[in-house]
Chain A
Amino acid sequence: MNDRGIREGSVKTVLVVEDDQDNREMVIKVLKHNGYRAIEAVDGEEAVERAKAENPDLILLDLYIPKMDGYEVTRTLKGDQGLQHIPIIALTAQAMKGNREEALAAGCDGYIPKPINVRELPKQIEHFLKPNP
């Protein structure tokens, strides 16, 4: 097992928000394989609930999700003093340029273009988990 997630002694928790089950499980599989603890949410409301309950180290957030879309989730979490420190990485459709800008405007800390490259994903996550210099 890879030890990316357990570098500083504690296992990092990543919340995966994605409504497509196969894609969600795939990302979780990659995360677990790389030593992260993964928790999941299938829609925007659940995402906010789980973020509040579990205080994850990072959120991977699909923008097109039911009930409350990714932009709304971001605004909600970034508006919450207890949660605004959690980095949110938007999973954006690559060809839709506007999405990236909108995601960043809504308060996302970064974005990973879709389709997700499972070989790149661990590096991308690690990059966003590094404390800012």
Chain B
Amino acid sequence: MINKDHIVTHWNRAIEKLTGCKAEEMVGTDKQWCPFRPEKRPIMADVIVDEMEEQEIEKYYGHSWRKSSLIEGAYEAEEFFPQIDERGKWLFFTAAPIRDANGETVGSIETLWDTTERREAREALQRAHDELEEKTAELEQANVQLRRFDELKSTFLANMSHELRTPLNSIIGYTDLLLDRVDGDITDEQEKSLTKVHKNAKHLLTLINDVLDISRIESGRMELDLKPVNVKDLIGETISALDPLIDRKGLVLETAFDEELPLAHADADRVRQVVTNLVDNAIKFTSEGRITVRAKAAERGLHKDKGPEFVEVCISDTGRGIRKRDLNRLFDKFRTLDTLATSQYKGAGLGLSICKGLVEIQGGTIWVRSTYGQGSTFCFTLPAWAEAAKLDYKEAGIGEEPRPSKVAAQSRVLVVDDEPDQVTLISKILGEEGYHIVKAYDGQEAIESVKRSQPDLIILDLMMPNVDGFEVIEYLKGGEETKEIPIIVLTGRELTKKQTQNLHGKVERIMKKGILSMEEILEVVKSTLGTFQ
């Protein structure tokens, strides 16, 4: 506190502690500036006592001062004082006038707060924030890089597939020619040797195909050609190719089919691969008895009223069976069970994990039951063809189920995803229902495509390079002509609460890739278009 002659009248404990100057050194002097500044300069209390003009205050305090909003006639400021403490301190200070009964200023009281910690915390927070943003940018960069690597890997796989098969093609082909006596007769011994070359080359080809299959499944690059599949016919064809093997071992093969077996929604080649593999295994591990292949309609608990949603195929044998402890790891990669790891049953141990992968990417499940010594049963399911979609019409009371193509033909659907497989898959399914499909592989392309093709519905991925799904949504919702187009988000990522809130009201549905079956997606597309037309 100072009086109107700028003499210090009070210097309290707090300020003693802050400045290190004792009250006895200060009181009665005009050295109030001295703990704060290297040379004499008015402190805020002096400014008040002198009733300085604003311009003059600015000379000392620049733009860091302002009139207090709490105390009438008081000024406040915050500044850094390098000479206080070793490291300097940030101080916030307020000086208020002391007035006599006539309203004359007779002194000023100034209060100081040490704001160093608060400021440092704020700065640290800012730094952390900046760092976080930097890290996010780095991660995004890394993500882009990963995608690029993934693409490289796929290209590598495709090339390798070609490179490995080409010489193998020659080996198998020339062996065939020799065995067929195209170049003249061969001896029995030569034939035996050539048969061995042939058998091993074929085996190598199987291994290469298996490794490529498992890589494709794992990288999500397995291309599926999903169509209605008549499982009964497919099983019939597949096992007839295995007849010679069954005859040779003296086994009996039986089949049993439900009378009203629904069509499966699947890739016929891939189902054939699974059935071949499972029946082949059954033959391999059964020395006498029978192999039974059954197919039936299977319900799923949740939608009992909707009829069969899956086709279930089971392959049973009367072979050696599998020990309980081995059952769990049966579908693991590169796993040939120790008990079976004899040359008689050689393989890369990929067969069952490929089966599992193939069944699962088609939307089914696979499992095994076995009693050691008595035989095994392998079962898998495949989604039934468009059962759900058909039932929707009936439930809606439309009566006669309209031809899907007629309903859908008027609708244009834009499918946007940077993963071509995903685009192909969705396009295929919607295309078969008669929708007109427009494809785009990134956000920029999507925006251009919307302008060009004026779709009735957009199915949009969020995570895409360059322009992502969020930006596409912002852009479209901001455009007079595009803001009414319904958008269904199909994302592979968990969204944060904020992202979900942000999308709320802008998109019709947010769906997770992989969780929904294709029928469910189809259903959502139909109901969304229904609402909007």
Contact = CB atoms under 8 A, between A and B. Distances in A.
A98 B154 CA distance: 13
Contacts of A118: 173, 176-177, 180
Interface string A73-114: 000000000000000000001011110000000000000001
Contacts of B162: 64, 93
A114 B165 contact: yes
A23 B165 CA distance: 11
Interface residues of A, number: 19
Interface string B171-183: 0111011001010
Contact of A93 (B165, B174, B213): B165
Contact of A26 (B158, B168, B174, B223): B174
A119 interface: yes
B170 to A, nearest CB: 4
Contacts of A20: 166-167, 170
A133 interface: no
Contacts of B165: 93, 114-115
A95 B161 CA distance: 8
A6 B166 CA distance: 30
B169 interface: yes
Choose among B166, B167, B177, B205 the residue with the greatest number of A CB atoms under 10 Å from its CB. B166
B182 A22 contact: no
Contacts of B174: 22, 26
A118 B173 CA distance: 6
A23 B209 contact: no
B456 to A, nearest CB: 26
B467 interface: no
B212 interface: yes
A115 B168 contact: yes
A64 B155 CA distance: 13
Choose among B170, B180, B223 the residue with the greatest number of A CB atoms under 10 Å from its CB. B170
A58 B174 CA distance: 23
A22 B170 contact: yes
A95 B209 contact: yes
B191 to A, nearest CB: 16
Contacts of B523: none
A4 interface: no
Nearest to B212: A95
A118 B209 CA distance: 20
Contacts of B418: none
Contact of B169 (A23, A30, A64): A23
Nearest to A20: B166
The prevalent SS among residues of B at the interface is: helix
A115 B169 contact: yes
A96 B173 contact: no
Contacts of A98: 223
Contact of A97 (B172, B176, B213, B225): B225
A31 to B, nearest CB: 11
A29 interface: yes
A119 B172 contact: no
A114 B168 CA distance: 10
A30 B177 contact: yes
Interface string B316-334: 0000000000000000000
Nearest to A21: B170
B180 A119 contact: yes
A42 interface: no
B161 A26 contact: no
B223 A97 contact: yes
Contact of A96 (B158, B169, B182, B213): B158
Given A29-B177, A97-B225, A116 B158 contact: no
A124 interface: no
B169 A114 contact: yes
B420 to A, nearest CB: 9
Interface in B160-218: 161-162, 165-170, 172-174, 176-177, 180, 182, 205, 209, 212-213, 216
A33 interface: yes
Interface string B72-92: 000000000000000000000
B177 A96 contact: no
Interface string A18-47: 001011001001100100000000000000
A64 B182 CA distance: 28
Given A30-B177, A96-B161, 15 more contacts: A20-B166, A20-B167, A23-B169, A29-B182, A93-B158, A93-B161, A95-B212, A97-B223, A115-B168, A115-B169, A115-B172, A116-B173, A118-B176, A118-B180, A119-B176
15 contacts: A20-B166, A26-B177, A29-B177, A29-B182, A30-B173, A30-B182, A33-B182, A93-B165, A95-B161, A95-B213, A114-B169, A115-B169, A115-B173, A117-B173, A117-B176
Interface of B: 158, 161-162, 165-170, 172-174, 176-177, 180, 182, 205, 209, 212-213, 216, 223, 225
User: What are the nearest 5 A-B pairs in CB distance?
Assistant: A115-B169, A22-B170, A118-B176, A26-B173, A97-B223
